[in-house]
A and B are shown apart, each in its own frame.
Chain A
Amino acid sequence: MHQFAIEPLFGTSNLSLGGYNIAFTNSALWMVVAAVALWIFVAGGMKRSLIPGRWQMAVEFFTGFIEKLLTDNVGAGGKKYVPYVFTLFMFILMGNILGLLPLGLVGVHPFTFTSHFTVTGALAVLSFSIVLIVGFWKHGLHFFSLFVPHGTPLPMIPVIFPIEVVSFMVRPFSLGLRLFVAMTAGHVLLKVLAGFVINSTNAGLGYGALVGIPSFTLMVGISALELLVAVIQAYVFALLTSVYINDAENLH
């Protein structure tokens, strides 16, 4: 579990702002790394040439992917959310993948900030508040009709309404929890298997061959799976955000 521990870096453990601690931790460092990596990635695709190179193609693929996601889920009105959803998707993707890099081999401790509920929860609340703001901005109090599905019989409304409200309010939690759990579980699984390899080898060469080799083989497979999960969870976060934005843009 040490890989998830947060440690202040550069002696900033007492840095505070308005009474709140804002120490520059290893988590913050990896957020900065992810941000810089993303900036470099997108800046590399800014040549804006008519015939794109490989890098430009890659960047345009991602923007096109997010644009398609939003137009499919929200419609033509979804295009104005591309900057937000693109940043969200790419930031989570960078965090997920950077945390999976085998940088421990060169003595650096990678940290997956998306495995912290504080971070995923904050991102989920950010998406959710955008949904709320857009919803009330566009539809006013009419936004509450979201909680009464079409064709609900009148006597059912008092029952349906609270259920829909609860399911709506649970969204940010499920959104944040899903990413946090997926990333944490993957890293824990890899750690447990790595522990098998080390402990069985320590117990003797026979145990090492018997337990360590299958565990290591499994780790290779699960590492590939984790890369997939890293992409899928970023996609799910962006997809659900766009689905919720659709609710706010178009009601039902």
Chain B
Amino acid sequence: MPQIAQLAATYSSQIFWLLLTFGLLFFVVGLGMVPKIQSTVDSRNAKIADDLARAKAAFARADEIEEDYRARENASRAAAQALVAEAKAKAAKDSEKQVATADKKIAARIAEAEEAIKASSARALAELEAVSAEAAQDMVAKISGGEISREAALQAVKVALAHG
């Protein structure tokens, strides 16, 4: 077995070259390159975690915005409905008022017209009396030749008119 047979002759060169190659590897690869590779992996993992956290936050914000938008939409819809209802109520009140004033005006004009009719019929009656009294005076003068006073004729016409 050369491992044992050559032990005494070769151990020093074996150990020397082992320490040389292994030592070089340790300093160049182990200490020089491995930490950089580890830091690359670590920074990548950190970036992935960071990106995930940011995506989650963005999701939450989007939800929040949507909820906000919904709430605002509901509020504006309610406001619009309130506005419409108010406008309707106001319009109804206005038209009622207008109708009321128009009614009043019409009633006033009717009353006025009735008054005018009454007055003109009274005037016509008075004129009729005057004309009848004159006619009665004339008739008495023609038939009897006598003359009656205007007051007496008027009295007689009134009585005759009242009796119909």
Contacts and interface: CB of A to CB of B under 8 A. Distances in A.
B6 interface: yes
A83 B15 contact: no
B13 A91 contact: no
B46 to A, nearest CB: 11
A115 B17 CA distance: 15
A35 B16 contact: no
By size class, the interface of chain A is 35 or more
A213 interface: no
A6 B10 contact: yes
Contacts of B100: none
Contacts of B24: 35
Contacts of A45: 37
Classify the interface of chain A: helix, strand, loop or mixed: helix
Interface stretch (A14-22, A165-173, A232-240): A14-22
A122 B3 contact: no
A119 B14 contact: yes
Interface stretch (B27-35, B76-84, B127-135, B143-151): B27-35
Nearest to A4: B2
Contact of B11 (A5, A31, A43, A118): A118
Contact of B14 (A4, A67, A116, A180): A116
A35 B3 contact: no
A119 B18 contact: yes
By size class, the interface of chain B is 35 or more
A90 B2 CA distance: 25
B3 A38 contact: no
A118 B41 contact: no
A87 B3 contact: no
A86 B14 CA distance: 21
B71 interface: no
A87 B29 contact: yes
B19 A122 contact: yes
A24 B12 CA distance: 11
Contact of A22 (B2, B9, B12, B36): B12
Contact of A123 (B7, B11, B22, B38): B22
A34 B21 CA distance: 9
B59 interface: no
B23 to A, nearest CB: 9
A83 B37 contact: no
B26 interface: yes
Interface string A130-166: 0000000000000000000000000000000000000
B9 A4 contact: no
6 contacts: A22-B13, A28-B14, A42-B33, A42-B34, A82-B38, A118-B18
Q: Closest 4 CB pairs between A and B?
A: A83-B30, A28-B17, A20-B12, A87-B30
Interface of A: 1-2, 4-6, 8, 15, 17, 20-25, 27-28, 31-32, 34-35, 38-39, 42-43, 45-46, 48, 50, 52, 59-60, 63-64, 67, 82-84, 86-88, 90-91, 113, 115-119, 122-123, 126, 180, 184
